[in-house]
Every structure is written in C-alpha cells, then in structure tokens.
Amino acid sequence: MLSPKRVFFYCLPIAAPDQVGYHHLMLAIAEGLKPLGVQLYSNINYWKASPDSDEYLIIHDPDVTPDDCDVVMIDEHWLITGPGELPPQLFKPHRNYITVYLDNSESTKCIRKQSWSQEFSQFDLILRTHCSTQFEYPQNFRPWTFSLPQRVLDEVSDIPSYDERNHHLLVNFRDTQWMHSVRKSVYHSLHPYIESKLAPVYKAVNDFNAPPTSEYHYFQWLQTGRRHYPDYYNNLKTSAFCSCFGGFFVPSHIKHPGTRWAEIQKRLFTELGWSSKSILQWDSWRFWESLAAGAVSLHVDFEKYGFSLPVMPKNWVHYIGLDLDHIQDDIDRMIDEPGILADISRQGREWALTHYTSKAVALRFLDVLENYQSQSVVQEVVPV
C-alpha cells in the first residue's frame, strides 16, 4: 500500500453541545485526503459543511467495515466522551490495515491510561499533540498538532492590513479554577508589562452557554462542541497581538508526562507559581487561529522550551516566542523595532497557510504512513 485508498474513522454523533466529541485532528486530515481521491468511511455520517446540506465529509456505508480499508483511525474522544474502550478486534491478528491513534489528551491521567498503556503500544502510529524534546515517548509516537481546518480558514479569509488593526493584545482565555500555570505566569508578569509599555490588554471571552445566533454559526458551534464563535474570529482579525500561551510547568527531571508523579508536580508548580523549562500541554488552539488571522501570536520560545512540531516556526519571523526569564527584553524589542510586527503578522500567516492547512496536514499524514511502511519492510527483511 503506497497510498491509502480507503480510510475508516471511528466517530461520535452530536449529542448535547457540552457532550460533543469534536474530532478536530481527524477533520483536518479528512478534509485534505478527500480531494486526493481517498474514500472516507465511518461508523456514522460525520461532518456537514452547512446545516442545510445532506452531504457529509465522512460517510457511513453499512457495506464498508474497517476490514475493507487501508487505515483505521480513532482519537481520544472515543474513550473520553464515547464508549470508553477501544473497538473490539481492532488489533486482531493478520489485519490488513494500519491503526492510527490521534492523541490530544490534555490531562496526565488520560495520557497514562491511554497512550502510554500496554494496550496502546499495539497501535502502529500515535500522532500526538503537545510533544516536546524534554520528554520521552513510546516508539510509535510522532509529533502532531491542532492545525487549521477549512471552517477556521473560511472565517479568516479576509483580513485587514496590520496598520488597520486595533493596537491591543487580545486575551481570550476562559479563566477556570484550574488555570494553566504558563498562563497564570504571564497574567502576573507579561500582561501588566505589555499594558504599561506597549499596548492595552483587551479581554474578550466567549461564554460556553451563549451560542451564535445565525443558523450557520450555531450549527458549527454545535458540531465543534461550543468552539465556534464568529465574534472571536473577528477579534483575531482586528487585533494587533494575541496571547496564545498554554501549558503546565513541571520540573525538568520529569521525562514521562503520563506518570502520576508528573500529575503531582504539575499541580504543585501551578499552586506555588513555580516555573521551569519543561512544559506539558503547550499547544494552543488560538496559536494556530491567530496566525491564520494575521494577529502577531505571542507564546513562549518553542526552541528554548523544547516544543516539537512536524514543521517548526521561527521565532521573531512567524511568531514572537518569549523567554520567560527575560520578558522585559522581549517586550523592549517589540517597542524598539515596531516595523518588525507587520512582517511577523504577514509571515506568520503565510507560514501557517503553507504548512498547517488540511491539504498540508493530509500530505504530511501520507508521508508518515509511507515512512512507517518503509521501516516495517526493512524490519521484515533484516534477519534477527
């Protein structure tokens, strides 16, 4: 199998808005595979482009089972929101399909029970967001990320020039009792310094229980499990900067993110306000969305903190990655070199649209499959 002809996705139906297993990582891959001629099947019909459409991106055909496909894909929502266990016979002997798990697990408890468990070692490939060179991963892991499905690209297709934007820092985090410790740190250190030296801080948070009123946007709000708000995308398009921080500090000696010890340290560092160079759960929805919208995306320095992506962005070219030990130096550079901001806005958007649209993600997925198959062939022919 050089390239899959059929891919089978295990998907969940839409229930209540707060119980939707939104298959974001699957969606990005599927949207890119379909124009390449790959047939997409599922246990249910999944993902309509509009509320009045009868067509689905991924279709259910009772005559097509996983055994009829080249790749079988599942994600963490099947376990967290859905049945809670893997489909029976998924790893049956002599299967002809490649098994792929899309892992966007956010809690260390989920990571420990799922991706790092003995059962999950049977997956041929696990595509994992939040990867970092600071940690060790099982052999079947590959770094992955949220990326940009067509729904988001449609919302940011028309953007103003950088000079026409509101010169403020957009902050859109939903503050909860269990705030990311990286966000907690920048709330106390970065945001006040930016407000006093560079630009006002504009906090605009969408209420989970206040859906959009238009039929189309309400439909997408429902399909995405309350993650689609047109005014949020408008804020991104009209803001000069966006705060995109996420993640939890843990001590640098932690090498396995899914351990109980990692969970204890994560909580301890959050409660005490400690920081380190090791960050769990760093990937941020709004990082990708703000890049595509042309807002200058502020995060930590990916290189310094060891973040791992299939294609890495360049600091001060595609985004501004802060060194949390020298925040003032980074803000001073933004003040001293104002001309660089419009360049970062443009270059960041171009980079994201080149490397992280559905088309780019699908082609990368096919490369991952090809590399896996090539390695498998080599292992078969090399004598033990």
CB 34 within 8 A of CB 42: no
62: left (phi over 0), alpha (psi -120 to 50) or beta: alpha
Give me the pLDDT at residue 384, please. Answer: 39
Predicted pLDDT of residue 49: 84
Are the C-beta atoms of residues 180 and 107 closer than 8 Å to each other?
A: no
Is residue 117 predicted with pLDDT exceeding 80? no
Indicate the burial class of 188 (C-beta count within 10 angstroms; 0-12, 13-18, 19 or more): exposed
- Section 3-22 average pLDDT: 90
**Measured CA distances, 134 to 28, 29, 114, 320, 342 (Å):** 27, 27, 20, 21, 32
Q: Which residues are bridge partners to 155 per DSSP?
A: none
pLDDT tens digit sequence for 264-323:
888 899 888 899 999 999 998 899 999 999 999 999 999 999 999 999 999 999 999 999
Q: Which two tokens stand for residue 188?
A: 């106390």
Whether residue 377 is predicted with pLDDT greater than 70 in this model: the reply is no
Q: Are 296 and 237 in contact (CB under 8 A)?
A: no
The H-assigned helical ranges of the chain are: 24-33, 77-80, 108-113, 150-155, 181-188, 190-197, 215-223, 230-238, 260-272, 285-293, 327-336, 339-355, 358-381
**Confidence grade of residue 378 (pLDDT, cut at 50, 70, 90):** very low
Instruction: Name residues whose C-beta falls within 8 Å of residue 277's C-beta, 6 or more positions apart in sequence.
Output: 134, 252, 304, 305, 306
Mean per-residue pLDDT of the chain: 91
**Which structure tokens are listed for 283?**
């990937």
Dihedral Cα 232, 233, 238, 242, nearest 10 deg: 70
DSSP 22-75: --HHHHHHHHHHGGGT-EEEESS-B--SSTT----SBEE-TT--GGGSSEEEEE
**Other C-beta atoms within 10 Å of 377: how many?**
10
User: Distance (Å, rounded) from C-alpha 137 to C-alpha 27?
Assistant: 25
Tell me the two tokens of residue 217: 């946007």
- Cα separation of 322 and 299, whole Å? 6
User: Do 66 and 8 contact (CB within 8 A), yes or no?
Assistant: yes
Q: Give residue 110's pLDDT.
A: 55
The one-character DSSP state at 120 is: G
Give residues with Cβ within 8 angstroms of 48, minimum separation 6: 55, 56, 57, 219, 223
Would the CA dihedral through 372, 6, 53, 359 be positive or negative?
Answer: positive
pTM exceeds cut of 0.95 = no
Q: Return the sign of the alpha-carbon dihedral for residues 320, 326, 327, 331.
A: negative
202 strand-pairing partners: 170
pLDDT in tens, 19-32: 888 999 999 999 99
Average confidence (pLDDT) over 142-162: 96
Could you read off the pLDDT of 53-91 as tens digits, one per residue?
Answer: 999 999 999 999 999 999 999 998 898 888 888 999 999
So what's the pLDDT on residue 382? 42
Q: Name the nearest CA neighbour of 102 among 132, 78, 122.
A: 78
**Tokens describing residue 187:** 């709330």
pLDDT at 257: 81
What's the CA gap between 143 and 139, in Å, rounded? 12
Residue of 249, 257, 241, 230 lying closest to 330 (CA atoms) = 241
